[in-house]
A and B are shown apart, each in its own frame.
Chain A
Amino acid sequence: MNYELPLLQKLIGHFKKLPGVGEKTAQRLTFAVLDMQGGEVTDFAETLQQVKEKVRFCNRCGNLSEEETCRICNDRSRVKGVLCIVERPSDIYILERSGKYRGGYHVLHGVLSPLDGIGPGELNLSGLKKRVEEEEITELIIATNPSIEGDTTSLFILKMFEGKGVKVTRLARGIPLGSTLEFVDKGTISKALEGREPL
């Protein structure tokens, strides 16, 4: 005899599709939904729907936005002439948390990866070229991940702007701040050794 409730199972199934959520967590989330007030549930459901409908990519930088152009692109107080190039919109939030960077962004929506069929045409590179010309960009800071694909993509961008009077830099890699050597993984240590700097 099966005592499972089909609706409940359906919701559990939906939660399980989310990253990092297994059977048990999905059950807990489902029971939490059952415990919500009526209005709260409606709002939750509507928000899910609206997020999907209204959030799109900024037509200038490719960041997530609820308007045609995102808030960072619209912010007049941000430094002009400098763009930080990232793989995906979530990287912007990470860089913004530092509060250190005040220039603009450009999201590639991926990195070069022939194994996945991703070439320059699949990345938001034509948009970048246009922006560099139109917005009189003088420096590009490449913040792709320190992977084979991220490295190769940054080389490609470097070549794109070679001899065009644009300074192209790459984020440094190495030992994270505030951690001791003991807790840094061996790959990072060997990269940090390669990239050591004179004092």
Chain B
Amino acid sequence: MIVKDIECVNFRNIKKTRLEFSGTFNIIEGMNAQGKTNLLEALHIFSLGRGFRTRKTDELVRFGEEYFFLRINGKSDTKVEFGIEFGYEKGGKARVSVNGNRLSSLSDMIGIIPTVIFTPGDVELASGPPAGRRLFIDYTGAQISPAFLSDLGEFKRTLKHRNSLLRKISTGGGGIEELGVWNETFVSRGAALTRGRREMLSEIEDAACGIYSRIMPSGEKLGIRYRSSFYEGNDTAEDDLKEALRRVSQAELRRGYSLAGPQYDDIELSLDGASIRRFGSQGRKRLAAIVMKLSQAVVIMQRRAERPVVLLDDIFSELDAGISRKVRELISDRYQSFITSPKKEAFSDIPAGSALFAVENGSFSLRN
């Protein structure tokens, strides 16, 4: 997938701009708070239908304006040209059209532009809290499989319902008679999500091991394992989740929210069998995070037969020069990428065919 150009109107601090991109590296440089990341966020809109720094789309509208509008033109790896428009009016619903055809639901847009995004917070992916790793796998699955996306959405909604019911019961508002059927729905949707995540992760592990050994040819063996809070892979996930709910049922009724299920699952990363989170050095933790993201790109490419677009938000300043160079090699081989950077020095060896943009106060200019 290649994004050929973008048009942004009233998006974040961008008043109006139209940019043509390189099919390989696109480097966006500028001082802080000038709008570098805003351009990545505009591209990200076409991946998930929302920004990555906020869940409130209203915040994406330029200050003092009522709407924003984005349009991209691109070409798939099979050489099919496409154009996508995304319009949003404050307090309203997004209007998305693909090649002039209005989409009925925003979720139909997910996955059209496969995207891998790397933000500064992601260096904590391997070592930070489990929520980040769950998000990583869900985001991968959502872009690859509509069935996974629908399982994920159904589970999340069931969890909200169930928590709401448990809260009501715990505060004496009644509702115990319908808890049984919500438990059944929770078990079926929770088990489906867990199975989907495990399958997804075994593909990610294969890709990640390959990438790790390319960056660290004489290094350790990387392991990635889905660590379910209730399912060991022996019986059916349904039976295990049912059993887990039974164990916590009294505590749930007291505390008023769900205490078992895939919302507590995690991914365990290891080097030669030793947990990275517990025993890894700072450098290894960051490297593992990068490898996870790069393997996400590989899995998306394998499953979708379409190369994802890679968005890198100021991450090279966090990495040492050697690893940084290897990562750039791995990306430049295959993907169109968009890289923000506060300083030019980070790219002393900009490859031919790249585009370099400078941004100042929401205005972009092509530098090469």
Interface set of A (CB-CB < 8 Å, partner B): 112-115, 119-120, 148-149, 151-153, 155-156, 159, 185-187, 189-191, 193
Contacts and interface: CB of A to CB of B under 8 A. Distances in A.
Contacts of B154: 148
Contact of B181 (A115, A152, A186, A187): A152
A191 B154 CA distance: 13
Nearest to B189: A148
A187 B180 CA distance: 27
A190 B181 contact: no
Interface in B169-213: 174-175, 177-178, 180-182, 184-185, 189
A149 B157 CA distance: 9
A42 B162 CA distance: 50
Contacts of A152: 161, 178, 181-182, 184-185
A148 B181 contact: no
A106 to B, nearest CB: 18
B164 A115 contact: yes
Contacts of B177: 119-120
Given A148-B189, A155-B181, A155-B185, A115 B160 contact: yes
B150 interface: yes
B318 interface: no
29 contacts: A112-B178, A112-B181, A114-B162, A114-B164, A114-B168, A114-B182, A115-B160, A115-B161, A115-B164, A119-B174, A119-B178, A120-B177, A148-B157, A148-B185, A149-B161, A151-B185, A152-B178, A152-B181, A152-B182, A152-B185, A153-B181, A155-B181, A159-B180, A159-B181, A185-B108, A187-B146, A190-B146, A190-B147, A190-B150
A151 B158 CA distance: 11
B175 A148 contact: no
B165 interface: yes
Contact of A119 (B108, B157, B175, B189): B175
Contacts of A187: 146, 150
Contacts of B185: 148, 151-152, 155
A156 B178 contact: yes
Contacts of A185: 108
A159 B185 CA distance: 13
Q: Which 8 A-B pairs have the closest CB atoms?
A: A186-B146, A190-B147, A114-B165, A114-B164, A155-B181, A156-B181, A152-B185, A114-B161
Interface of B: 108, 146-147, 150, 154, 157-158, 160-162, 164-165, 168, 174-175, 177-178, 180-182, 184-185, 189
A113 B162 CA distance: 9
Nearest to A156: B181
Nearest to A186: B146
Nearest to B166: A114
Contacts of B157: 148
A149 B185 CA distance: 9
Given A119-B174, A155-B184, A113 B146 contact: no
Nearest to A191: B150
A153 B161 CA distance: 13
A184 to B, nearest CB: 11
Given A114-B182, A156-B181, A148 B161 contact: yes
A160 to B, nearest CB: 10
B146 A120 contact: no
Contacts of A159: 180-181
Given A120-B177, A190-B150, 10 more contacts: A112-B178, A114-B175, A114-B182, A119-B178, A151-B185, A152-B161, A152-B182, A155-B181, A187-B146, A193-B147
Nearest to B186: A152
A186 B181 CA distance: 27
B253 to A, nearest CB: 14
| Interface hub of B154, B162, B180, B185 (most chain A Cβ within 10 A) | B185
Nearest to B168: A114
A167 to B, nearest CB: 19
Contacts of A156: 178, 181
Nearest to A149: B161
Contacts of A191: 150
A183 B268 CA distance: 40
Contacts of B160: 115
B158 A148 contact: yes
Nearest to A153: B181
Contacts of A112: 178, 181-182
B200 to A, nearest CB: 15
Nearest to B111: A186
